Amino acid sequence: MNKIVIGAVTAVVVGVGAAAGWYFIGKESGPSVASVGSAPALDCAGIKANVDATLAALPPEVKATYSGLECAGAKLTFAELRFGFLGGGGVEDSALKLSGLVIDDAFAANAKTVFNAASYPQGQAPGTAALPLAGKITAVKVAIGPASGGGIAFDNLDISDLASRQFGKAPPATLAELGALGPAGLADVLQAFSFSAFTFKNLTGGPADAVTPGATKTVLSIASVGLSAFDGKTLGGLDVASITATPDAGSGKVSFGSIGVKGLGVADLAALATSAANMGMGDETSMGVKALLSITAESATVKAFEAAGLDDPKDRIKFASISVEQLKALAFSKLTLEGLEGVVSASDVFFSLDKLTLAGIDIGSALKPLETDPNAEPDFSKMRADAYDLAGLKVGPVEGARVELASLTARSSDYVDGIATRGSASLKSLVFPAAIIPEGDRQPLTDLGYDALKFDASTDYAFDPKTKTMDLKDFTLKLVDGGALTLKFNFSNFDIQALQAAAQSFEPPAALLASKVTGASLSYKDDTLIGRALKLIAKEQGATEDALIEQAKGFIQMQIAAAPGPVTKAALEGALAFVNSRKGVTITLAPPAAVSFGELAGLIENVEGAAAALGLTVKAD
């Protein structure tokens, strides 16, 4: 068990390790919970004696009192019903008080069958049929906490069509026994119940007020909470509106406009906890991973989140919404984040993002090894992302120029053994302002005539896992108002899995030596960059641009004269043509026969041999 403490109130949370929480395993649509129907009339003449006997049978650490008891037909009303929870020395630690409590269509006999230990004969299996308990339970106000102050309170409790089967074991005779149930036992208790709706409003909570005795300092407030259609295995929905939390000490606050989750359930958590207990597994890492991988949901959405002033009054982070669709085992069909913005004043950083959409994401497969071995490493090669779409990113100082990215899109598909055999990406308008570079280092950029560098980029590839052929169809990097560089290649015997394994273990990519070059090209198309560079160098050297060009031509002509063979000579002549035109150049590799990188390493001192083996050509535009 794990605990959340607000003041002196302790809430038990089903969960294990780092994944503690209420875990619901869902379907694409919520369950259908039927009405419990009409209850038979209560024995109103003997109702007080029955209530007194029921409360007297509670664990000895619980002292119950009530006032304003009324009975009519199948309806039971209390002006107030209070349960005090005693600690050491019989002193009350906390209490649960319900004011204006009304139970409509109360099934008294069924309540005894579920909650009375005498209804669980030894040697007889508990009943599995869902028994109606109440058509509706309402309370004007509910307060949980000690008389000295602190705790939580909320208004307008409303539970509809409450039912329950018998628990897996007879109800504990003491609170200590209840606390010792463990995750499996508590999950069984939770799964026993069903309801069509469970709502309340105006929740407030916090520690005892240090100034006013018996009062509570509010650090948490929630406008409303609604759970719908829970059948013991799945929950139709959870909707929480207007959440605000503030630190007990210090400043700042955290708020949510709303949280909504659809298609939740608990069945797999109980199975997980039970199997872990039977196997003797107790490692928190493994159990935490198992619990995380057991979560599914049809959808989840958080809107209008903001955290401000927690470490510094100027700090903040907020987003308009974040939503997840079809979550299962830490994989989801779609995640969308909109309207992100934040400030980290200690680092003088501002960031914002208009929208991020991820599709076909699988993180869980990378964590699978940790399910059985807490010391295992995540297998990051199994992580998967079918699509990224990012728009409107800005990062930079709180005041001043910032790096901006208009859009980034990426696609991956046709997975084989966890490898995307098709992929493409496009980057639009990545802008680096000169002003973000320290003043003493930005002069070369300014001398080139740029107030900012603006880039576009794109890539497209295909991989054939049968032939281990990697075909980079395009990788283009363009400096807007500068020039564009494009790379293409085709490598055979390209062992991606071996290269990934080497990268994960931080070893040299030895498998690359066996890869073979079957074709490649690198081209550059100039716009203004060469002219800008010539102007800058000429200024620095006190020379003319024409003189620099002649100097470069003279150097290449010397290399041509000393070329070790016809292939290198032709390539140098192509380079000379580029210096003359200064428009563009393409370097092409077209080996007569595929040549491996290992073979090329053996030709490092044989320039002509390497050039011939690669089929090197250089052509100017």
Pick the more confident residue, 145 or 182.
145
| Residue 447 to residue 437: CA distance in whole angstroms | 14
CA distances from 377 to 285, 369, 373, 380 (A): 12, 7, 9, 9
**What stretches of 321-363 show up as alpha helix (H) in DSSP?**
none
- Of 91-95, 224-228, 316-320, 614-618, the range with the lowest mean pLDDT is 91-95
Q: Rounded mean pLDDT of 23-48?
A: 73
For 526, residues 6+ apart whose C-beta sits below 8 A from its C-beta are: 483, 582, 583, 584
Cβ–Cβ < 8 Å for 298, 257 = no
Closest CA to 244 of 263, 221, 226: 221
Q: What percent of the chain has pLDDT over 70?
A: 90
Q: How many CA atoms lie within 13 A of 102 on its CB side?
A: 13
Residues present in the chain in total: 621
SS3 label, residue 120: coil
What is the predicted pLDDT for the residue at 12?
Answer: 30
Q: What is the reported pTM? A: 0.82
Q: Rounded mean pLDDT of 318-324?
A: 97
- DSSP assigned state of 73: T
| Residue 603 to residue 534: CA distance in whole angstroms | 35
| Burial class of residue 466, CB neighbours in 10 A (0-12, 13-18, 19+) | exposed
pLDDT classification of 13: cutoffs 50, 70, 90: very low
| Residue 600 to residue 595: CA distance in whole angstroms | 7
Cβ–Cβ < 8 Å for 502, 381 = no
Residue with tokens 């003279």: 554
Cβ–Cβ < 8 Å for 39, 274 = no
What is the predicted pLDDT for the residue at 333?
Answer: 93
What is the predicted pLDDT for the residue at 405?
Answer: 98
Pick the more confident residue, 252 or 155.
155
Residue with tokens 């005498």: 118
| Residue 103 to residue 99: CA distance in whole angstroms | 12
SS3 label, residue 341: strand
Q: Rounded mean pLDDT of 190-206?
A: 93
Cβ–Cβ < 8 Å for 316, 294 = no
pLDDT at 336 over 80: yes
Four-residue CA torsion sign, 284, 290, 293, 299 = negative
Q: What is the domain partition of the chain in residue ranges?
A: 44-108+132-207, 226-400, 485-620
Q: What pairing do the DSSP bridges indicate for beta strands 349-362 and 384-396?
A: antiparallel
Write the Ramachandran bin of 108: left for phi over 0, alpha for psi from -120 to 50, otherwise beta.
Answer: alpha
SS3 label, residue 479: strand
Question: Helices then strands (H, E): number in the chain?
Answer: 14, 26
Residue 545 has a CB neighbour count (10 Å cut-off) of 15
Q: What is the pLDDT of residues 451-462, one digit of tens each?
A: 999 999 999 999
Q: What pairing do the DSSP bridges indicate for beta strands 70-72 and 62-67?
A: unpaired
| Residue 166 to residue 113: CA distance in whole angstroms | 7
| Residue 481 to residue 308: CA distance in whole angstroms | 41
For 211, residues 6+ apart whose C-beta sits below 8 A from its C-beta are: none
pLDDT at 36 over 50: yes
pLDDT at 29 over 90: no
Q: Rounded mean pLDDT of 209-216?
A: 78
Pick the more confident residue, 328 or 99.
99
Helix or strand run (H / E) with residue 78: strand 75-86
Residue 462 has a CB neighbour count (10 Å cut-off) of 16
Cα-to-chain-centroid distance, residue 204: 28
HEC letters along 499-551? HHHHHHCCCCCHHHHHCEEEEEEEEEEECCHHHHHHHHHHHHHCCCHHHHHHH
What is the predicted pLDDT for the residue at 287?
Answer: 58
| Residue 241 to residue 304: CA distance in whole angstroms | 10
| Burial class of residue 391, CB neighbours in 10 A (0-12, 13-18, 19+) | middle
Q: What is the pLDDT of residues 354-404, one digit of tens each?
A: 999 999 999 988 888 887 787 888 887 788 889 999 999 999 999 999 999
Q: What pairing do the DSSP bridges indicate for beta strands 131-144 and 331-344?
A: unpaired
